[in-house]
């Protein structure tokens, strides 16, 4: 859903992602050479991930290396039916312990967290996506199981060679600090196939992404000036708080859009982007940013599916499709856990779940039955678009500001009217739907 990393730490991430660009282009170029073997490609991506982790995370890099190593050990130790349960439990337990360290620093010691530790938590969250995606693929038979390999009589070097694709996938440098989730199948297919590098096409695609980032950064400068010049939540009054919420959330969204496009560009430069294509039976490439849909939709449920798309798809596959009771609530509750369980995150994601449920009822039951003429549909769509954007801004501030004091200021402002309207409609329409059936 949201990105998990406090927005003021996205700037150093962008610097490290930018520094990795020449190596991504080099990897893509070397893949055109027959002498650049598959084994060497895996090593290149793994070594690049190790160097980037040490440069960006410093001594905290060990907090990423340990679960990656343990995940591969668990993949080899358990059967395909058991591997997902064990890897999921271990990875989420490890990530939760690290998040508790952040809670201890911020709420008990009242100290600002280390930038590198926050980057480590972000990298851990992305690692959790890759670990659980891989274990699900093994459990569902999409990827050949490696269980029992440790009990074979192969030498240590043979074991390491067989495990190299897993290590490389979990730590490959284009996705270490950001980027859409890349499935193991797609990763393996890209590494094993020689690159058909088209310099003109790649240059055009990267140039277009660069222009998008430049435009978003210019808009960020304008929005930052607007936010800085205005009042904050602590000293705003009445309807002024609505403007403060909208402008602050707009700055947050621009920051995310720019960051996501940069991450996508790095994957494209390395050859893992949408231009690589898709093998039969393989999940397609899912970019995180669909700016047009996010800014024009009047459906909160559609916004939830399109915001950070690859993460939304991962949550749907991991939690929603396996939830027997209240799968929507389970999905958003798990998202709050995955993000770190800060007070604002718990409130924000649970509020988002309620808003999505209300959205389903409003648009499928009320709108289709009672709004027939096109002028009314146009008015309805305009009003619901504005309401959707304001509710999303409310949720975004709750999640990003995180602390209990900031959450209290938000809840006591006029901004709470917008989600409250949907809560009332949910209650009324749920009763009406029950009577209708």
List residues with catalytic annotation: 308, 339
Other Cβ atoms within 10 Å of 92 Cβ, number: 16
Sign of CA pseudo-dihedral 240, 245, 250, 251:
positive
CA 376 to chain centre: 36
Long-range Cβ contacts of 191-200 (<8 Å, 24+ apart): 191/38, 191/41, 191/42, 191/45, 191/165, 192/38, 194/31, 194/32, 194/34, 195/28, 195/29, 195/31, 195/32, 195/271, 196/32, 197/28, 197/29, 197/31, 197/32, 197/271
- C-alpha distances in Å from residue 28, one per residue of 107, 170, 238, 349: 45, 19, 54, 39
Give the integer Cα–Cα distance in Å for 353 and 328: 7
Contact 177, 52 (CB under 8 A): yes
8 Å CB contact between 39 and 161:
yes
From residue 20, give the alpha-carbon distance in Å to each of 119, 127, 173, 267, 344. 16, 18, 8, 10, 33
d(CA 223, CA 225): 5
The C-alpha angle 28, 32, 33, rounded to 5 degrees, equals: 120
Distances (CA, A) of 66 to 96, 150, 171: 14, 19, 11
């Amino acid at each position: 859903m949201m990105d998990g990393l406090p927005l003021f730490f996205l700037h150093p991430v962008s610097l490290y992602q930018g520094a990795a660009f020449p190596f991504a282009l080099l990897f893509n170029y070397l893949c055109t050479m027959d002498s650049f073997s598959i084994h060497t490609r895996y090593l290149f991506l793994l070594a690049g991930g190790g160097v980037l982790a040490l440069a960006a995370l410093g001594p905290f890099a060990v907090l990423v290396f340990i679960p990656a190593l343990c995940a591969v050990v668990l993949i080899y130790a358990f059967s395909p039916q058991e591997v997902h349960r064990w890897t999921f439990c271990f990875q989420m337990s490890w990530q939760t312990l690290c998040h508790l360290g952040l809670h201890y620093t911020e709420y008990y010691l009242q100290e600002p967290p280390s930038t590198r530790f926050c980057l480590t938590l972000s990298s851990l969250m992305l690692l959790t996506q890759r670990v659980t995606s891989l274990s699900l693929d093994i459990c569902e038979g999409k990827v050949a199981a490696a269980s029992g390999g440790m009990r074979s009589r192969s030498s240590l070097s043979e074991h390491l060679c067989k495990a190299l694709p897993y290590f490389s996938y979990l730590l490959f440098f284009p996705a270490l600090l950001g980027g859409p989730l890349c499935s193991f199948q797609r990763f393996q297919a890209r590494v094993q196939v020689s690159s058909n590098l088209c310099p003109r096409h790649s240059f055009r695609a990267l140039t277009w992404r660069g222009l998008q980032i430049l435009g978003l950064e210019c808009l960020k400068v304008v929005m930052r000036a607007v936010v800085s010049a205005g009042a904050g939540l602590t000293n705003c009054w009445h309807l002024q708080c609505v403007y403060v919420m909208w402008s602050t959330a707009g700055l947050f969204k621009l920051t995310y859009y720019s960051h996501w496009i940069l991450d996508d560009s790095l994957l494209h430069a390395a050859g893992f982007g949408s231009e690589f294509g898709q093998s039969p039976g393989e999940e397609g490439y899912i970019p995180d940013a669909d700016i047009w849909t996010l800014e024009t939709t009047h459906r909160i449920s559609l916004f939830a599916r399109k915001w950070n798309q690859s993460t939304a798809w991962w949550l749907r596959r991991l939690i929603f499709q396996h939830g027997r009771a209240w799968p929507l609530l389970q999905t958003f509750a798990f998202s709050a856990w995955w993000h770190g369980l800060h007070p604002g995150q718990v409130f924000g994601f649970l509020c988002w779940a309620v808003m999505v449920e209300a959205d389903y009822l409003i648009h499928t039951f009320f709108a289709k039955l009672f709004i027939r003429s096109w002028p009314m549909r146009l008015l309805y769509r305009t009003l619901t678009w504005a309401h959707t954007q304001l509710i999303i801004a409310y949720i975004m501030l709750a999640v990003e500001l995180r602390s209990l004091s900031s959450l209290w200021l938000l809840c006591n402002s006029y901004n709470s009217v917008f989600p409250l309207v949907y809560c009332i409609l949910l209650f009324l329409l749920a009763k009406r739907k029950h009577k209708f059936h």
